[in-house]
Amino acid sequence: MQAQAASPLDQPIDVRALSRLKWRCRRGLLENDLFIARFFEQYEASLTMGQAQALETLMDLSDNDLLDLLLRRKEPEPDLAGAGVVQVLQMLRN
């Protein structure tokens, strides 16, 4: 029996992509930066390509919308709730 190939999204993020992602995650609100810095401290070594894509999706939000999600003032809209975004949001909230 042949082992099933792992999805490219399950592959670990490479150093260069991680560096670009960290730069992309810089925010205008200190509160958001604090959540993001803690996220990278905890998960940087094990971050996957799929999680990186989900984080990029969250970074497309305005600072205030992102902060509302991080502080649990609101939950993601249905169009945002897929593709691992909910998982990464939970990781950011921890």
Work out how many domains the chain is built from and give that number.
1
What's the pLDDT score for residue 61? 95
The angle that helices 63-70 and 49-59 make with each other, rounded to 10 degrees, is 120
State the pLDDT at residue 80.
Answer: 86
The answer to whether position 81 is within a domain reads yes
The confidence score (pLDDT) of residue 7 equals: 85
> For the chain, which residues score pLDDT lower than 50?
none
Q: In which domain, by residue range, is 47 found?
A: 12-93
Cα separation, 48 vs 34, in Å, equals 21
**Two tokens at 89?**
């949001």
Residue 4 included in any domain: no
Residue 52 lies in a domain: yes
Three-state secondary structure call for residue 85: helix
